[in-house]
C-alpha cells in the first residue's frame, strides 16, 4: 500500500509546489520511493530530492514496497496515467487472462490493462466496468489526458479525501486529510465507496451498459470466481452445513490471498475469537506469524493473548502501558486519525502501537479482525434487533458494513500507515462479505445469549481446534479489553486544559 495525491488548478496556475507539499505530508505512507506526473511529465526520486515540473494538473505517489520488484508510480501505459494505493489480490490471474505486455511486476499495472480492455473513448464507462474484475483493497486515480477519475474498493478499506479552495483556485485529493490541510484546504469530504470523483465532482457509482464491439477483445470471463467453495453452489437447500462449508473455504481463501508471497506477517492480537482464527489460519498456511498485543497491567486482552499464543505456539510481542505511555501516544494517535475523537483514540491506540512494534521487527503487513462484528452480528445491540425483527435485522448489519469506511476503516488505516505498515482485513474480503451477508441471522445469533453471538464463526473456531475458552469468549471492545480507555479518560484526559487544547487544535484545522 502507498499514499496518493492529486491536484488540479481551476485557473491554469502552477500546482507543482503544492503537489510536493502533499506528498511530504504523507511520506510515512510510502518511504520507499516517490513520483509525480505533471502536465505530461513524469519524475521519480526520493521524496527529499523530488521536484515537480510546473503545470496545472498533477498526480503524486509515495511507495511502500511489500513484495517483489514493486516500482515507483505514476505508471504510464496505453496512454493512461495511474497512481494507486492498492493491493490487487488477483493480479496474477488478470495477467494470465489478459495477454497484455507488462512492463513491471507491480500488481497495480493490471488496473490499466483491465481499464484498457473496456476503453472506447469514455474513461468513466471503462473504469466502472473494470471494477468488478478487480479483487483487492484499493484507492486509485487514473487519467486519460482528458478526464481524471478517483475510485475506491467496494468496502472502502483504503481512504480518499478531497476538497477545494476557490480563493486559491485548486481542487485536490489525497490518502489523508493532513496532505490537503498542508495546502490550505478545509471542509474536506471523504469519498464514499459507492461514489467516484470525476474531474473533482463526486458521482454516484452505477453499473454502466457499455457496449463492446465484437472485434474488441474483452476476454475476462476467466476472472469469474474459481474458489474451492464454488462446489457448494449447486446445493438446492442452503442449510447450516452449506454456510459452514462456505465460511471455512472463504476464510482460508481470504487469509491466503492476503499473505501470499509474504514471508513475515503480523497479527494485531486480542486473544479473541476473530483475531485467533486469523492467526491460526495464517500459521497453517505457512506464514511466519507474529502476534502483537497492547494493554495495561490489568488488561484482559493481555491475559487471553498470552494463554492463546502459548497454545498456538506462536511468538507474541507485548507492550504494557502505564498512564505516562498513554499520554505520550495520545498526540501521536491523534495526529494519525486527524480528529479529536475519544472513541477513535481509545480504539486506535492499540493498533497504532502494535503496528509500531511490527515496524521495529521489519514487518510491513499486519492483519486484524476488523469487520467480523459487523458481518457476524457481534455487537450487543444486534440481540434486540433480532428479537424485534427476526431475519429482517439483516438490514442493520448491512447498514453498519456500509458505514465502516468512514469510521473503523479510516481509523485503522491511519494508525497503521502512520508506522509505514499495511493493514489487511480478511473478514472484509468481498466474496466473504457477500456470502455472510446472505447468511440467515439465526446462524449468527444462536439463542441470543451474550457468549453465542457470532455463533457460526465460533463453530468455525471450534472446528479449527481452538480452545473452548476462546471459542466462547464474550465480545470485549479493544479500548476496554486493552484497559486503555480507563487510563485515557480517567487519567490523561481528566486534565481539562490538556483535553481542550487538543480538541481546539483539530477544530482549527478542520
What kind and span of H or E run contains 414? helix 408-417
CA 368 to chain centre: 10
Cell of 451: 457468549
The DSSP letter of residue 31 is: B
- CA distances 22 to 41, 142, 350, 383, Å, are 18, 18, 27, 45
CA 133 to chain centre: 18
3-state helix, strand, coil in the chain (%, to 5): 45, 20, 35
Q: Are 342 and 244 in contact (CB under 8 A)?
A: no
Can you name the residues that pair with 290 across neighbouring β-strands?
A: 266
C-alpha angle 237-242-245 in degrees, rounded to nearest 5: 165
What distance in Å separates the CA atoms of residue 102 and residue 98, rounded to the nearest whole number?
Answer: 10
Cell of 372: 467480523
Q: Decide if 222 is catalytic.
A: no
What distance in Å separates the CA atoms of residue 375 and residue 436, rounded to the nearest whole number?
Answer: 6
CA 124 to chain centre: 24
Cell of 206: 452505477
Q: Which residues contact 49 (CB under 8 A, 6 or more apart)?
A: none
Angle between helical axes of 430-438 and 394-402 (0-180°, round to 10): 160
What distance in Å separates the CA atoms of residue 462 and residue 10, rounded to the nearest whole number?
Answer: 59
Give the residue among 351, 411, 430 at the shortest CA–CA distance from 152.
430
Q: Are 498 and 492 in contact (CB under 8 A)?
A: yes
What distance in Å separates the CA atoms of residue 185 and residue 396, rounded to the nearest whole number?
Answer: 35
What distance in Å separates the CA atoms of residue 384 and residue 448, rounded to the nearest whole number?
Answer: 9
Give the residue among 475, 440, 81 at the shortest CA–CA distance from 273.
475
Question: What does residue 232 show for φ and ψ, rounded to 5 degrees?
Answer: -90, -5
Can you name the residues that pair with 39 across neighbouring β-strands?
A: none
Catalytic residue among 2, 97, 148, 455: 2
What distance in Å separates the CA atoms of residue 339 and residue 414, rounded to the nearest whole number?
Answer: 11
Answer whether the bond into residue 271 is a cis peptide, omega within 30°: no
What residues are labeled active site?
2
Amino acid at each position: 500500500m502507498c499514499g496518493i495525491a492529486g491536484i488540479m488548478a481551476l485557473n491554469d496556475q502552477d500546482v507543482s509546489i503544492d503537489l510536493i507539499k502533499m506528498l511530504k505530508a504523507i511520506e510515512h505512507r510510502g518511504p520507499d520511493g516517490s513520483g509525480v506526473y505533471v502536465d505530461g511529465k513524469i519524475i521519480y526520486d526520493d521524496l527529499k530530492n523530488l521536484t515537480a515540473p510546473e503545470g496545472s494538473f498533477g498526480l503524486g505517489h509515495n511507495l511502500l514496497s511489500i513484495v517483489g520488484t514493486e516500482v515507483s508510480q505514476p505508471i504510464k501505459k496505453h496512454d493512461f496515467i495511474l497512481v494507486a494505493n492498492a493491493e490487487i489480490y488477483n493480479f496474477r490471474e488478470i495477467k494470465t487472462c489478459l495477454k497484455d505486455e507488462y512492463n513491471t511486476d507491480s500488481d497495480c499495472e493490471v488496473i490499466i490493462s483491465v481499464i484498457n480492455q473496456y476503453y472506447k473513448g469514455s474513461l468513466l464507462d471503462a473504469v466502472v466496468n473494470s471494477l468488478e474484475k478487480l479483487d483487492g483493497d484499493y484507492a486509485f486515480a487514473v487519467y486519460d489526458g482528458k478526464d481524471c477519475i478517483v475510485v475506491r474498493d467496494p468496502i472502502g478499506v483504503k481512504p480518499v479525501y478531497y476538497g477545494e479552495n476557490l480563493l486559491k483556485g485548486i481542487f485536490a485529493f489525497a490518502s489523508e486529510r493532513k496532505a490537503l490541510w498542508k495546502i490550505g484546504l478545509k471542509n474536506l469530504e471523504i469519498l464514499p465507496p459507492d461514489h467516484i470523483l470525476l474531474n473533482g465532482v463526486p458521482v454516484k457509482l452505477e453499473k454502466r451498459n457499455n457496449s463492446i464491439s465484437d472485434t474488441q477483445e474483452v476476454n475476462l470471463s476467466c476472472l469469474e470466481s474459481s474458489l474451492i467453495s464454488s462446489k457448494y453452489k449447486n446445493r438446492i437447500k442452503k442449510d447450516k452445513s452449506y454456510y459452514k462449508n462456505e465460511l471455512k473455504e472463504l476464510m482460508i481463501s481470504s487469509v491466503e490471498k492476503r499473505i501470499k508471497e509474504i514471508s513475515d506477517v503480523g497479527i494485531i492480537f486480542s486473544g479473541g475469537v476473530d483475531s485467533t482464527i486469523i492467526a491460526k489460519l495464517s500459521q497453517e498456511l505457512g506464514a511466519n506469524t507474529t502476534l502483537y498485543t497492547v494493554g495495561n497491567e490489568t488488561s484482559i486482552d493481555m491475559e487471553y493473548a498470552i494463554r492463546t499464543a502459548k497454545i498456538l505456539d506462536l511468538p507474541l510481542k507485548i507492550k504494557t502501558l502505564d498512564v505516562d505511555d498513554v499520554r505520550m501516544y495520545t498526540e501521536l494517535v491523534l495526529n494519525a486519525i486527524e480528529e479529536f475523537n475519544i472513541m477513535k483514540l481509545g480504539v486506535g491506540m492499540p493498533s497504532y502501537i502494535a503496528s509500531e512494534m511490527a515496524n521495529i521487527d521489519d514487518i510491513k503487513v499486519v492483519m486484524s479482525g476488523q469487520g467480523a462484528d459487523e458481518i457476524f452480528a457481534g455487537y450487543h445491540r444486534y440481540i434486540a434487533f433480532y428479537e424485534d425483527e427476526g431475519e429482517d435485522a439483516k438490514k442493520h448489519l448491512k447498514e453498519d458494513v456500509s458505514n465502516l469506511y468512514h469510521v473503523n476503516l479510516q481509523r485503522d488505516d491511519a494508525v497503521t500507515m502512520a508506522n509505514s505498515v499495511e493493514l489487511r482485513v480478511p473478514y472484509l474480503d468481498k466474496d466473504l462479505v457477500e456470502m455472510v451477508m446472505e447468511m440467515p441471522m439465526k446462524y449468527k445469533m444462536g439463542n441470543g445469549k451474550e457468549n453465542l453471538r457470532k455463533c457460526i464463526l465460533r463453530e468455525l473456531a471450534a472446528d479449527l481446534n481452538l480452545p473452548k475458552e476462546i471459542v466462547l469468549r464474550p465480545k470485549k471492545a479493544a479500548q476496554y479489553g486493552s484497559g486503555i480507555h480507563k487510563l485515557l479518560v480517567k487519567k490523561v484526559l481528566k486534565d481539562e486544559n490538556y483535553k481542550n487544547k487538543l480538541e481546539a487544535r483539530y477544530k482549527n484545522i478542520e
